[in-house]
C-alpha cells in the first residue's frame, strides 16, 4: 500500500508540473498572435477578432472627424485605398504613384545637374530644397499607402476605443483645442500649397520665375508646354507631406491626452475598503495594458517614418534658411519651394 501511495504522489506531481507548463506556453503563443492582427472582411465590414467593425468610427469625437478630413484630402490627390477596392483599382493607383515618383526623381536629377554644373547662388538653394521635399514626400507616400493597405489607422482607433478613459469631461476643452489647432495648421499648409502653385503659374505666365529657379526649367520635360507638370508635382508632394506629418502629430496628440486622463484618474483613486481598492487597481492595470498596446501600435506604425523625417529635418532647415536669405523680391519669397 505504501508503494502505491508513493507512486500516486509521483504521478500527481508530474501532472501538476504539466498543468503549470501548458498555460505558460499558451500565453506566449497568444502574445505572439496579438502582434499579427487578422481581420475578416464580411458584408461591407472589416471585423476584428472581437467582432467589432474597425471601420465604425465615432464621428462625435473630433479626433475621428479630423481623420475624415485627411481621408478626403487623400482621395482628392488620388491615393486613397479603401478596404474593398478591387485589385484593378489598387494596381492602377500604384501605377499612378509610381509615375509621380518617377517624374519627381527625374525633376530632382535635372535640377541637381543645373545646380552643380551651372551654379547660381540665387537658384541652387531652391534645387536642393526641392530634393529634400521630394525625399520627405516619398517617405510620406510609402507610409500612407502601407498604412491604408494594412488598415493601421482603423486598427489603432479600434484598440483605443477599448482603452478610452472617462474623465467626466475634465480634459475635453483643452483636448478639443489642441485638435482644432492641429486641424487649422493642416488647413493652413493645404491652402499654402494652393497659393504657392498659383504664384508659380503667374511666374511662368509673366516670365519672372527665373529669379528663383534656373533658366532652363521650362525645358525640364523637353517640351515647353509640359512645364506645368512641375506645378502639379509641387502640389502633390506638399499635400502628401502635410497629410502624413499631421497624421503622426494627431495620433501622438490623442495618446498624450489619454495618458493625462490615466494619470489624473490614478491620482484621484480612492476606496473605503481594501477589497474595493483591489478592484480599482485591477481596473487600472487593465486600462494601462490597453494603453500600452496603443502605444506599441503607434510605435509600430511610425518607427521608420519618424526616423526618416527627423533625419531630413536638418538639411531641410538649412536649405530653407539659405533660400530665404537669398531672396531679393516678394515674388521670390512666395515661390519658396518651386
pTM: 0.76
Three-state secondary structure call for residue 47: strand
225 CA to centre of own chain = 36
Cα–Cα distance between 127 and 110 in angstroms, integer? 9
- Residue 320 banded pLDDT, cuts 50, 70, 90: low
308 CA to centre of own chain = 13
Residue pair 150/36 in contact (Cβ under 8 Å)? The answer is no
Between residues 318 and 185, the one the model is more confident about: 185
Please give the mean pLDDT across all residues of the chain: 76
Cα–Cα distance between 170 and 261 in angstroms, integer? 8
pLDDT for 328 equals 52
Length of the chain: 338
Q: Which of 156, 158, 179, 184 is closest to 257 using CA atoms?
A: 179
What is the mean predicted confidence (pLDDT) over 202-207?
73
pLDDT for 1 equals 44
pLDDT for 160 equals 83
- Residue 338 banded pLDDT, cuts 50, 70, 90: very low
pLDDT for 102 equals 93
pLDDT for 211 equals 59
Domain boundaries, the chain: 58-334
CA of 87: how far to CAs of 139, 142, 149, 259, in Å? 23, 18, 12, 40
Between residues 43 and 98, the one the model is more confident about: 98
C-alpha cell at 289: 495594458
CA of 323: how far to CAs of 125, 126, 133, 211, 337, in Å? 5, 6, 14, 12, 9
Amino acid at each position: 500500500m505504501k508503494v502505491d501511495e508513493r507512486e500516486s504522489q509521483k504521478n500527481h506531481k508530474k501532472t501538476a508540473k504539466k498543468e503549470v507548463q501548458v498555460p505558460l506556453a499558451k500565453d506566449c503563443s497568444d502574445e505572439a498572435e496579438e502582434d499579427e492582427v487578422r481581420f475578416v472582411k464580411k458584408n461591407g465590414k472589416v471585423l476584428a477578432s472581437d467582432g467589432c467593425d474597425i471601420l465604425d468610427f465615432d464621428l462625435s469625437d473630433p479626433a475621428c472627424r479630423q481623420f475624415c478630413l485627411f481621408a478626403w484630402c487623400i482621395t482628392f490627390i488620388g491615393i486613397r485605398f479603401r478596404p474593398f477596392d478591387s485589385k484593378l483599382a489598387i494596381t492602377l493607383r500604384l501605377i499612378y504613384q509610381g509615375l509621380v515618383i518617377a517624374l519627381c526623381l527625374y525633376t530632382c536629377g535635372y535640377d541637381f545637374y543645373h545646380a552643380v554644373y551651372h551654379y547660381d547662388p540665387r537658384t541652387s538653394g531652391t534645387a536642393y530644397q526641392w530634393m529634400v521635399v521630394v525625399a520627405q514626400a516619398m517617405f510620406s507616400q510609402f507610409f500612407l499607402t502601407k498604412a491604408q493597405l494594412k488598415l493601421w489607422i482603423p486598427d489603432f482607433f479600434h484598440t483605443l476605443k477599448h482603452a478610452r478613459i472617462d474623465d467626466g469631461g475634465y480634459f475635453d476643452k483643452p483636448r478639443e483645442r489642441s485638435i482644432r489647432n492641429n486641424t487649422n495648421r493642416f488647413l493652413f499648409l493645404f491652402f499654402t500649397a494652393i497659393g504657392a502653385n498659383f504664384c508659380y503659374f503667374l511666374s511662368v505666365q509673366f516670365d519672372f520665375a527665373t529669379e528663383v529657379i534656373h533658366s532652363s526649367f521650362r525645358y525640364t520635360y523637353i517640351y515647353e508646354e509640359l512645364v506645368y507638370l512641375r506645378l502639379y508635382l509641387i502640389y502633390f508632394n506638399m499635400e502628401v507631406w502635410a497629410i502624413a506629418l499631421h497624421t503622426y502629430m494627431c495620433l501622438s496628440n490623442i495618446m498624450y491626452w489619454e495618458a493625462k486622463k490615466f494619470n489624473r484618474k490614478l491620482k484621484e483613486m480612492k476606496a473605503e475598503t481594501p477589497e474595493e481598492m483591489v478592484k480599482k487597481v485591477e481596473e487600472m492595470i487593465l486600462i494601462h495594458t490597453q494603453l500600452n498596446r496603443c502605444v506599441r501600435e503607434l510605435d509600430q506604425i511610425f518607427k521608420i517614418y519618424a526616423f526618416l523625417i527627423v533625419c531630413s529635418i536638418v538639411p531641410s532647415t538649412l536649405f530653407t534658411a539659405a533660400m530665404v536669405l537669398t531672396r531679393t523680391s516678394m515674388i521670390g519669397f512666395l515661390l519658396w519651394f518651386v
